[in-house]
Amino acid sequence: MQITHFLSLLGGLALFLYGMQMMSTGLEAAAGNKMKEILEKLTSNRILGVLVGAAITAVIQSSSATTVMVVGFVNSGLMTLQQAVWIIMGANIGTTITGQLIALDVGVLAPLFAFVGVVMVVFLKGPKVHSTGQIVAGLGVLFIGMGMMSDSMVPLRDTPAFVNLMTQFSNPILGILAGMIFTAIIQSSSASVGILQALATSGVIGLGSAVYVLFGQNIGTCITAVLASIGTNRNAKRTTIIHLMFNLIGTALFVTICLTTPFVSWMESMTPAKPAAQIANVHTIFNVTTTLLLLPFGTLLAKAATCILPDREDEVDQTYHLEYLDLDDIRKERKIGSAAIGTTQLRREVARMLDMVRQNVDASFLAVEEHSSRLLDEITDREEYLDFLNKEISRCISFMLTMDMPEKDCESVHGYFKITGNLERIGDHAMNLAEYAQMLEEKGLNLSDRAMTEIIQMHQLCLHALDDLQGPDSEDSLRLLEKIAQTEQQMDDMTLRFRQNQMERMRSGACSGEACVIYSEMLTDFERMGDHLLNIAQEIAQSSQTGSSTPVTA
């Protein structure tokens, strides 16, 4: 093999991987957040779960990406371990679509695809058109890379050392290990299968050896999910174990079939003289058959994963959850006094939410003061938790309002609905502050010393108001309203004064225009936090006047 052939191989591999990346990015952008919304709303129906997993993976062309997404949902408590089983099964089916696309003999049209896609991206306007252009161009680039790899590998047929190496893969163990290691390195089973198809098309490797490499590639793709599960809770780690078990069981089954039946000959006879199609078909049959066989035993897979990785007594539950409320219990308990118990639990849950809001406000201002994004992951995770709490508390409140309860309790419960909404909005503004801190860091911008002094004052005033909501005066609703109203007025006055100061700094050239824009946005978020704090205090006072009680302390 000459150096030019080797360089052509590297170039073809680069184009192939880049084409896959373009297609995946374009497809994900075109789909928007629909994939995540579908997964979040998934029911426990196993057939639906498999179909959704297959469809989403076919769209983004990466079972690894789908599995990583599922690991995140299980870690956050938005999906159960059993629901994850069906998604993973479907993901393994969906990932075979790339191999089937490669098996289609459309290489002659690849330059046309690439040209049309680039024209759409460069000359046409609109994000949807650009996303579609990325998909089309990516498909063309992928096939061009595939063709380059196939052509560069043809001389390898006359290289005794390489041919000897390929024949070693007829040994199932060596073939599986080779597939595992290569896929684990590039972290994409679709890409590694495509490269295997290029080898087969060049006549370097026969189907008898390629099948074992293919089985190993299915196992190797689990490495991405394993890496994504580092630092997650036990259930998220169990999700990766299920993914690994699925492929190990499938591999054991099909290795046995290949060794004891003329399976390889059957697959060759289905599409003679088309080695890429043969590999694609084996890949599809492997995943579809394994899914059909394991579908009735999905619950057992989840239990097996739990046995392999049991709970630890000292482990803290890090999943998103309601600590005091349980909607199922509320639905069951309809006896006398259950409404009062539910209201008490609701108050404690909202108090917990308030404490998390305070933590995020504090951390976000600290991030701005430090011009650092080091706290961003912590703030983002807590913000997602706040969104979860707002949604789940609202669900519980909606059901509680259908229960028979005294009028004052009904008013109190309804008050908490408004309070949680305002708390969630304060959390959004805190998140905005953290993102401004990241922008300052990334752009290398600095706020003036005077602006930093003003930010510290805003920080202290926000925490003061949140402490008042949590303090002893929170039980005296009218006194609390008076204090929060005074604080909110201070925040308005402070915002007006700080904006005037900002204008003076701009005129004197003491700060850059971009930094001033960011600081102006900070002032807007600060002022709106005050509005939501006042809304909460007013709701507490109004509930008190109607004879109900809606404090936000545990």
- Percent of the chain exceeding pLDDT 90 equals 27
Question: If you ran DSSP here, which 8-state letter would residue 547 be given?
Answer: T
Which pLDDT score is estimated for 35? Answer: 56
Low-confidence winner among 22-26, 163-167, 490-494, 525-529 (lowest mean pLDDT): 163-167
What residues does each domain of the chain span?
3-308, 327-545
Alpha-carbon span 283 to 288, nearest angstrom? 9
Buried/exposed code over 414-425 (b: 16+ C-beta within 10 A; e: otherwise): bbbbbbbbbbbb
Range with the poorest average pLDDT among 82-86, 114-118, 251-255: 82-86
Per-position DSSP letters for 302-339, written without gaps between them: HHHHHHHS---TT----S---SS--HHHHHH--STTHH
- pLDDT above 70 (res 181): yes
Is the domain spanning 327-545 CATH 1.20.1420.20? The answer is no
Residue 315 has pLDDT above 70, yes or no: no
Query: Predicted confidence band at 95 (pLDDT cuts at 50, 70, 90)?
Result: confident
Determine which of 30-39, 347-356, 515-524 has the lowest per-residue pLDDT on average: 30-39
Give the mean model confidence (pLDDT) for residues 407-433: 89
For range 255-276, the mean pLDDT: 89
As separate numbers, helices (DSSP H) first and strands (DSSP E) second, the chain gives 24, 0
Q: How far apart are CA 524 and CA 507, in angstroms?
A: 21
Mean of the pLDDT values across residues 7-20? 78
Q: Do 194 and 138 form a contact (C-beta atoms < 8 A)?
A: no
Tokens 């925490």 — which residue?
A: 463
Tell me how many degrees the CA angle 425-428-434 measures, rounded to the nearest 5: 150
Give the residue from 260, 451, 270 showing the smallest Cα distance to 371: 451
The per-residue pLDDT for 493 is: 95
- pLDDT at 209 > cutoff 50: yes
Asked whether the predicted pLDDT for residue 243 surpasses 60, the reply is yes
Contact 538/481 with Cβ under 8 angstroms? yes
Between residues 245 and 40, which one has the greater pLDDT?
245
- How many other CB atoms sit within 10 Å of the CB of residue 115? 13
pLDDT digits (tens, 9 = 90+) for 333-350: 544 445 566 777 888 899
Least confident window among 13-22, 112-121, 123-132, 241-250: 13-22
pLDDT at residue 337, rounded to an integer: 44
CA proximity to 411, closest of 538, 553, 554, 540 = 540
pTM (predicted TM-score): 0.55
The predicted structure's pLDDT at residue 316: 45
67-84: pLDDT as tens digits:
777 776 776 566 777 778
